[in-house]
Amino acid sequence: MPSRRKTASSGAGADLRILFLGDVLGRTGRDAVAARLPTLRKDLRIDLAVVNAENASHGFGLAPDMARMLFAAGADVITLGNHAWDRKEIIPYIAETPRLLRPLNYPPGTPGNGSVLVTLQDGRKALVLQAMGRLYMDPLDCPFRGTAEVLSRYRLGGTVQAIVADIHAEASSEKMAYGHIFDGQMSFVVGTHTHCPTADAQILPGGTAFQSDAGMCGDYDSVIGMMKEGATLRFWRKMPGERLGPAEGEATVCGVFVETDDTTGLARRIDPIRIGGRLAQAMPAVSP
């Protein structure tokens, strides 16, 4: 098992502020993120913003023009997931766009990359990566070994000031195991895919911030973002129906805010974010 680092202290060291927004779902989610992200970056003085957008195109995949819109709104890195290839036109685009990530444990030869080293505006460096779980998901290569191989090239608090991982997985147990295995080697591990924000935001014993799922940016008067009429009938009658479509009511922008210490790269703080829509609101307070 990979080694652990000591928990970050409250001593000297600059803060690096990270914003992660959960799965963007459909037009409602895209529009909400485009409207809210610039203000979030400004109000929270964000250094690195990561957005999961694998459901941005009508709930299935991401189109290049939608990726460009999210980058223009302030996303530094966009992550995908099991719907990465639902829009075929993303294949040439991801090959030429390093900051658009698909899971690192796809087989060798798959277009795109699973990690990217980002140089921030002030010159600091952050590594962002994504892995996909295997429980109740496609049987890809091992996400744990693949992540360990990527991490072996960097030193948290040395060659990079922050490391952020999106673990795109169905099972909370697999996400938690991932967080604990890499506790102390990353700044922040956050889960995506289940579209429901979890209440377990915490700093793990080794100093890594963790939340099992960031939730989605979409309409919560729905079944995980899809129109509830068709989705509920699939459970009630156990028969396939018409193709599911995204719910189009007011979206809640869900995500996670993390502060890290440059000296160690480990987390000082983690807070959930929920803005707009139906869910209880949550917005971190930051000092001026």
Catalytic residue numbers? 83
Separation between Cα atoms, residue 239 and residue 241, nearest integer Å: 6
Separation between Cα atoms, residue 282 and residue 276, nearest integer Å: 10
Give the position of tokens 């949550």.
Answer: 282
Instruction: For residue 258, give the amino acid letter.
Output: V
- Rg of the chain (C-alpha set): 18
Six-digit token string for 149? 């191989």
Six-digit token string for 193? 């895919």
For the chain, helix (H) and strand (E) counts, in that order, are 6, 14
Residue from 18, 20, 19, 21 nearest 218 by CA:
21
Six-digit token string for 170? 């169905």
User: Is residue 171 helix, strand or coil?
Assistant: coil
Q: Report DSSP state, residue 98.
A: T
To which H or E segment does residue 164 belong?
A: strand 162-168
Is residue 117 packed enough to be buried (19+ CB in 10 Å), middle (13-18) or exposed (0-12)? middle
Instruction: For residue 16, give the amino acid letter.
Output: L
51 and 21 Cβ atoms separated by less than 8 Å: yes
Six-digit token string for 248? 């189009």
Q: Which residues pair with 48 in a beta bridge?
A: 18
